[in-house]
Amino acid sequence: MPLILASTSRYRRELLERLRLPFEAVAPQVDETPRTGETPADLARRLALAKAGEVARRYPAAVVIGSDQVAELDGRPIGKPGTHERAVEQLRSMRGRAVIFHTAVAVLRPSTGFEQLLLAPVTVHFRDLSDADIECYLRTEQPYDCAGSAKCETLGIALLNAIHSDDPTALVGLPLIRTCAMLRAAGLDPLQR
């Protein structure tokens, strides 16, 4: 059966490639605007399910994976900065603080009615970064397409004191332990080809 990743994220594609299952990446057509009063965790869950659902409607014979990540500081969502200036602001606000990254993943198999949605929260403790640390990191990595302006899989690890998670790839954008469990439940086991 075909496997589709409902995402344009290169990070999610690279993570899913680790499972060595053939898949296609398809861009979901979903409005990602947060709703009034929506918590960051609820936003991540809603968007993961909406992305998977929108693509599943176009590919009803496939197993579809949707995922989304929303960072949270003081109950507010922290999105992708997009610019250097916004990334500086984000990292300054997070220095010396704990930030929760809510990574949600949904797996749908329309042909059987299978639908599952799980959340993989990750608590990230940032060092008390100097402005020089922030500037060096941003000029080197340019992580303007990453929630919270940091990539732990590269130099961003130097910004941190600790990462707490039970699914180590969740912070990168796709919790593979949860994804594998849901794929097995949907009838697609990465270890049985």
Per-residue model confidence as pLDDT tens digits over 69-85: 999 999 999 988 999 99
pLDDT at res. 38: 94
Number of H helices, E strands in the chain: 5, 7
Domains observed in the chain: 3-186 (3.90.950.10)
pLDDT at res. 66: 98
Q: How far apart are the first and last CA of the chain?
A: 11
Q: Which helix (H) or strand (E) holds 177?
A: helix 176-186
Cβ partners under 8 Å of residue 134, min gap 6: 88, 91, 92, 95
pLDDT at res. 169: 95
Residue 143: count of CB within 10 angstroms of its CB: 21
Q: Is the dihedral of CA 187, 49, 98, 171 positive or negative?
A: positive
Spans of the chain below 50 pLDDT: none
71-100 burial: b if 16+ Cβ within 10 Å, else e: bbbeeebbbbbeeeeebbebbebbbeeebb
Q: Write the pLDDT tens digit of every residue in 82-108.
A: 999 999 999 999 999 999 999 999 999
pLDDT at res. 84: 97
pLDDT at res. 170: 96
pLDDT at res. 183: 98
At residue 3, φ and ψ (nearest 5 deg) are -115, 130
Q: Beta strand 98-109 with 114-126: parallel, antiparallel or unpaired?
A: antiparallel
For the question of residue 68 being annotated catalytic, the response is: yes
pLDDT at res. 27: 97
pLDDT at res. 79: 87
Q: What is the DSSP letter of 125?
A: E
| Closest CA relative to residue 26, chosen from 56, 61, 48, 49 | 56
**What is the rounded CA–CA span in Å between residue 67 and residue 69?**
7
Task: Give me the catalytic one of 68, 128, 133, 145.
Answer: 68
